Structure 1
Amino acid sequence: TMAHVAYPSTPNFKNFKTDYLRALDWERPQEDSEQPEPDQAPRRRPPSRATFFGMVKLHGTNATVVFRNGNPRDAQIQARSWVIQDNKKDNCGTYALLSKAPLSSLVEQILAVRGQGDSFQEIYICGEIAGKGVQKGVAIVALERFFAIFNIRIDGHWVDMRKYKNCSLPEYRIYNLAQYKTFEVEIDFRAPTAAVLDLMNQYTADVYEACPFGAAFVDGAGKPVTGRGEGLVWTMVSEGNREFDDTLLVNFKTKGENFATTSQGPKVPKNVDAGAAGAVEQFADYALAERRYEQGIEYLEGEQARQGLAINGYDVKLTGPFIKWVTDDAIKEERNEMVRLGVPEKDAR
């Protein structure tokens, strides 16, 4: 087994914009030489205006498949944090589903779209395992378990999923999210983004009310699948002559209200001490929405699956690891807000 290849985390728009503007304003330090180190590509400034392609965000569990060294028949099936080698340490049926599919034909489809022959160093197919028994509260729980592709990377370059939308194996319950309802927005990061954020939030609210992916299917009784969607993931795509560094996955998410891991916005400070304690409370109010606690339970259950243990994320013996994960995740994901409020990390913990 080769090393696990981790999928990058997807920030919310607020954090994405903060970090993006920082990258836009980056200047090479005076003392730096103009030439990068031999093993480093020169740092490229991202475009100030870009098109973002929105696909439905499915409420499931992350799964990826890695192919290496030009071999389309040797698939490494992965959960978010480990390589799955058999059904004994599976994650929500990921291995059970994907190991039965002719994944080499998926590679052939991808290479055909690329149009540069059959050789490759690495193909990385990223998606979501979802459906019955994986999550709750969304339309797609009515469907038999499936894998939905949302990103592909070939030899270190993330592809434009609009061009690869037909890469799928529907007869094996392997779908491609780019085939279903999608959205596009143009964002000018040098201009106010309130209007485009309102538009994205409206699209997200529509998905939250009625999942367009689920609506494309019927349930076991032959009835159209109805119910909520989780939200949208927006990925930068090339448009016209606008180029960007496609070795980086430039994306962010917008979620329906029940799925947000933060409160809808930093709250107006309560009538508490305006000093450190007040700022810490404000940060906690913002960063600790119910969904983050649910993700903590999902993390524990994933770890139990990885170790081949019985699944019980509510085991009281796991209180310590649960608190640690939630705290670490909140600080990692919401560091920008923590800094804005002037909360030292040790106080946030």
Structure 2
Amino acid sequence: MATMIVYPETGQFRQAITDVTRNACHNKQLPVFSFIGTVKLHGTNAAIGYRQGSGHWCQSRNRVITPGEDNTGFAQSIDPLADEFFTVHVLPHCSTIREHYDRGDRIVIFGEWCGGDIQENVAICGLKTMFVIFKVKIVNQLPKAKASVHDPEQKYPRTFWVDPTEWADVKWHERAIYNIYEFPIYTIEINFNQPECSQNTLTAITEQVERQCPVGAHFQRIGLGEGVVWTEWAETTGNLTFKVKG
């Protein structure tokens, strides 16, 4: 059965500062985190979900979609390819995804459905419509159970983002499926005791992307980019993220 797995909203830098401060222990220094920045594409949020024995489903940001009840043509384009994509281009390349799929967990591959006439006034407008993967989530389907001294992890089902080093090679160019890590990435170290010291660097990178979209440049298109999404993986396993837009 298709089950909608919502992609969380990506907040601004100030929200990340608030979240880190709120979660910090009292009377302790705030952390210094290393972030990876990926190009923010101007399209529409989309995803393909899989569960063994249940097949696949497509979804937009807000609902499960089908070729008959679609969102900008995503399901119509992806639905016929989804099973082959997963079997040939995903499972053989990511052991974590394969392990959890075999256990019956849900696998959700999130990305941006972009290009074509989905959005206007950006470099990728007018390119062939494409699906660019930017995050993969696993939703553990084991039933809830009371935590015990011997197995405290039983308390809740485990939902987590798969580290991008495991799926950065997942793509299928012949079918216009790309991976955000194929394109330029950025890095920054942010000291949350002095987050304002990172603002100029964040702004400079954003302005660079805005002047010329790196994904557009990859396809020989000159034009505007939208911004950068920054994610911390080492300590927060992909849960601390923010965007900086032009």
Q: TM-score, structure 2 length as denominator? A: 0.82
Residues 1:79 and 2:60 are matched in the alignment: yes
CA distance in 2, matches of 1:144, 1:214: 12
Match of 1:235 among 213, 231, 234: 231
* Per-residue Cα deviation, 1:143-175 (whole angstroms, up to 9, x for no partner): 011111100113422122244211011111111
| Residue equivalent to 1:132 | 116
CA distance in 1, matches of 2:87, 2:188: 30
Q: CA deviation at 1:108?
A: 5.2
Q: CA deviation at 1:102?
A: 4.2
The structure in which a higher percent of residues are strand is 2
CA distance in 1, matches of 2:26, 2:112: 34
Residues 1:168 and 2:171 are matched in the alignment: yes
- The Cα RMSD (Å) is 2.3
| Code of the aligned partner of 1:232 | V
Q: CA deviation at 1:112?
A: 3.6
Percent identity for Structure 1 against Structure 2: 31
Which protein, 1 or 2, shows the higher relative CO under an 8 Å CA cutoff with sep ≥ 6? 2
| Residue equivalent to 2:185 | 182
| Code of the aligned partner of 2:245 | K
Match of 2:36 among 39, 50, 53: 53
**Alpha carbons 1:51, 1:184 under 8 Å: kept:** yes
| Residue equivalent to 2:137 | 153
| Residue equivalent to 2:144 | none
Match of 1:63 among 22, 26, 46: 46
Of the two, which has the highest radius of gyration? Answer: 1
The residue matched to 1:77 in structure 2 has which SS? Answer: strand
* Per-residue Cα deviation, 1:210-268 (whole angstroms, up to 9, x for no partner): 00011111xxxxxx211000001011122xxxx43x3x622110000xxxxxxxxxxxx
CA distance in 1, matches of 2:88, 2:17: 37
**Alpha carbons 1:48, 1:188 under 8 Å: kept:** yes
Match of 1:97 among 45, 70, 77: 77
Distance 1:181 1:18, change over 3 A: same
Distance 1:103 1:227, change over 3 A: farther
Q: How does 1:241-252 map to 2 (within 5 A)?
A: 243-244=235-236, 246=237, 249-252=239-242
Q: CA deviation at 1:16?
A: 1.8
Say how many residue pairs are matched.
222
Distance 1:249 1:128, change over 3 A: same
Distance 1:182 1:26, change over 3 A: same
**Alpha carbons 2:58, 2:75 under 8 Å: kept:** yes
| Residue equivalent to 2:8 | 8
The residue matched to 2:72 in structure 1 has which SS? Answer: coil
**Alpha carbons 2:39, 2:185 under 8 Å: kept:** yes
Q: TM-score, structure 1 length as denominator? A: 0.59
| Code of the aligned partner of 1:169 | W
* Per-residue Cα deviation, 1:44-96 (whole angstroms, up to 9, x for no partner): xxx8222111110000011011112x35x81110011111122x321111112
**Alpha carbons 1:162, 1:178 under 8 Å: kept:** no
CA distance in 1, matches of 2:161, 2:196: 28
Match of 1:142 among 126, 132, 148: 126
**Alpha carbons 2:94, 2:166 under 8 Å: kept:** no
CA distance in 1, matches of 2:162, 2:130: 22
Residues 1:254 and 2:238 are matched in the alignment: no
Q: CA deviation at 1:106?
A: 3.2
The structure in which a higher percent of residues are helix is 1
**Alpha carbons 1:204, 1:255 under 8 Å: kept:** yes
| Residue equivalent to 2:195 | 193
* Per-residue Cα deviation, 1:270-291 (whole angstroms, up to 9, x for no partner): xxxxxxxxxxxxxxxxxxxxxx
Structure 2's unaligned 5+ residue stretches are 140-158
* Per-residue Cα deviation, 1:174-226 (whole angstroms, up to 9, x for no partner): 1101111111111121x212232211111111000000011111xxxxxx211
Structure 1's unaligned 5+ residue stretches are 28-46, 218-223, 257-349
